[in-house]
Amino acid sequence: MKINEATPGILLAGGLARRMGGGDKPMRSIAGKTILERVIARLEPQCDRLVLNANGDPARFAAYGLPVIADSVTDFPGPLAGILAGLDWVAAHRPDVSWVLSAAADCPFLPRDLVARLHRARAEQNAQAAVAASGGQSHHVIGLWNVALREELRHALVVENVRKVERWAARFSPATVTWPTEPLDPFFNANTAEDLAEAERLAALDGG
């Protein structure tokens, strides 16, 4: 089984940011850069291609130069629908690719070895998925998924009404890769105005 495979990344930006008063969380700025800019900078060197999953008018993300895809099933808000949209996009545009990375578009400090370590773990365990963890918590939205799982995921969403990534991923016993939380948790995400203030402090620890 190959470890170093071409891996597109799907950036999940479908949330409504209610705890920030609405709008697109990834468009908020931290130390002079938007969160989305920071996510792209972390993942572009690791991924074969980046695609943004967002609903609504895609023109608001035009400055980033990424394909913007809406959920491929309707009325299923949440990250699982975004992961399925990514799997569907890759199946249609990159049929040679077997694996897709999903990542939350509001995590500005993602690890620079994210894709490599997830691939290594899933290969060693012969798993169909691999997820990131830190601080004793698994972050199922940030994971590596076999494209072959997409019809099972569609069935889970449409027929079984599954909504939580954790619940769906558990069916495949995903490999779990843990990162340290010092000097900062690489999976810190900005959900509130207070989180944005904390992110400014963390950005300084992370080199800006």
- pLDDT tens sequence across 31-72: 889 999 999 999 999 999 999 999 888 999 999 999 999 998
At residue 20 the predicted structure's pLDDT band, cuts being 50, 70 and 90, is: very low
At residue 22 the predicted structure's pLDDT band, cuts being 50, 70 and 90, is: very low
Q: Does residue 24 sit within a domain? A: yes
Q: Does residue 2 sit within a domain? A: no
Residues of the domain holding 92: 9-205
CA–CA dist 154, 141 (Å, integer): 16
Residue that has been written with the tokens 């999940």 in this structure: 12
The tens digit of pLDDT for each residue in 80-123 reads 999 999 999 999 999 999 999 999 999 999 999 999 999 999 99
Please report, for the domain that includes residue 182, its CATH number.
Answer: 3.90.550.10
Three-state SS for the chain is: CCCCCCCCEEEECCCCCHHHCCCCHHHCEECCEEHHHHHHHHHCCCCCCEEEECCCCHHHHHHHCCCEECCCCCCCCCHHHHHHHHHHHHHHHCCCCCEEEEEECCCCCCCCCHHHHHHHHHHHCCCCEEEEEECCEEEEEEEEEEHHHHHHHHHHHHCCCCCCHHHHHHHHCCEEEEECCCCCCCCCCCCCHHHHHHHHHHHHHCCC
The tens digit of pLDDT for each residue in 171-199 reads 999 999 999 999 899 999 877 878 887 88
How much is the pLDDT for 1?
A: 45
In this model, does residue 126 exceed pLDDT 60? yes
Q: Does residue 1 sit within a domain? A: no
Q: Does residue 3 sit within a domain? A: no
CA–CA dist 179, 76 (Å, integer): 31
CA–CA dist 143, 101 (Å, integer): 6
Q: Does residue 98 sit within a domain? A: yes
Q: Does residue 90 sit within a domain? A: yes
In this model, does residue 154 exceed pLDDT 50? yes
Chain length of the chain: 208
At residue 208 the predicted structure's pLDDT band, cuts being 50, 70 and 90, is: low
Alpha carbon dihedral 13, 16, 18, 19, in 10-degree steps, equals 0
Number of domains forming the structure of the chain:
1
Q: Does residue 71 sit within a domain? A: yes
Per DSSP bridges, beta strands 9-12 and 50-53 are parallel
Q: Does residue 106 sit within a domain? A: yes
How much is the pLDDT for 203?
A: 83
Prediction pTM value: 0.91
